[in-house]
Structure 1
């Protein structure tokens, strides 16, 4: 049913694509981190913050990718890429400072951007593997959807620049609320599982949105 992200029939349609299952598997990897490596709330929050940085990197790649299609997009990219790098970077930095202060009880000092990244990766020795998994899935989507299905031909740097903000703002709010519960609950395990659950539900919504976008692209020639 249009307008309902969690409509069962629409979710089933979205998960006919094998890539959707790959994405779900990566979203569920933190469960492995909790039970196999003993992760608590701090490394989980750090992982989700690092995911925002990965999203930013691939947004820049998509912005640059649109320049392949036209000279107009190329000129736009010369201005929008630096602006996005600064604005999105500042956005993530502010969020990172807040999460760092929240996780360390205000004892983390005043870290610079690189200091925040080092802090995030230092919260768990396995962090590199989980961030690499997120980056790998993002790479697949970039190749399959953006270049393979020709999205770069119909998009432009401006569209790509604003695309992640709605998702990121929603994710930031969810992470902050979930982290607050995880850090304050008397049952730490229940708290971190709740945080993972919030992120997984968010991932399902993103997957449904991707399915809708694909349907809209093929509608003129008849969607399957």
Structure 2
């Protein structure tokens, strides 16, 4: 763990403009809080929507393994739909928890396309300019996908199961961070301070993922850790 957070690794990580791009996008919610009046609800909704974006790019990476080995086509034909349903249900349950935690009125959405759409509509409506912040997240993920996975040849080095399991740890981490952030808000009695602390927790998570990505690029991590960095 000491090696993971050592100064040399930090310096190597942030010599890469891609790491700064991620940091910039991770800090964008500060603008939403300061200038657009966002509170905790739109913030956690944004992070939930980010999980959906991560899932979509995970599907693209899973499909990309077919380009490296045509034999993956048969496996992908099963695993991609399985991941779509399983991860979708995982995000659905997480979204129900968040909407209830935030006191949102989503009705009584049933699992499935309509239920997920209701949660997405709820999340997009929690704060002004939400769609622009989601677009920024999509853009930075697209850049990483093209640079690391397509141009950098990441599709030749990964495996379908590795890519499929990578995003789940991110949801668990976000879940814990939200509960921790809520506890800090109650402890300090300062909602704005609590929201900013939650953003900083997310920024710290993003920095950790950037350093994990650097270690993967330098051949210092296994495939699962590298895939988690790409998914984060």
TM-score using structure 1 length: 0.90
Note the 1:27-38 alignment, pairs <5 A. 27-38=26-37
2:130 alignment counterpart: 127
**Root mean square deviation of aligned Cα:** 1.9
2:71 alignment counterpart: 72
Tell me, which stretches of 5 or more residues in structure 2 are unaligned?
110-114, 221-232
1:89 alignment counterpart: 88
Aligned length: 216
- Paired residues of 2:30 and 2:199 also in contact (CA < 8 A): yes
Shift of 1:181: 3.5
2:107 alignment counterpart: 109
| Cα distance between partner residues in 2 of 1:13 and 1:214 | 11
Shift of 1:167: 2.6
- 2:172 matches 1:169: yes
1:50 alignment counterpart: 49
| Cα distance between partner residues in 1 of 2:69 and 2:122 | 40
Shift of 1:124: 1.3
TM-score using structure 2 length: 0.87
Q: Secondary structure at the match of 2:33?
A: helix
Bigger drift between 138-147 and 184-193 goes to 184-193
Bigger drift between 72-81 and 174-183 goes to 174-183
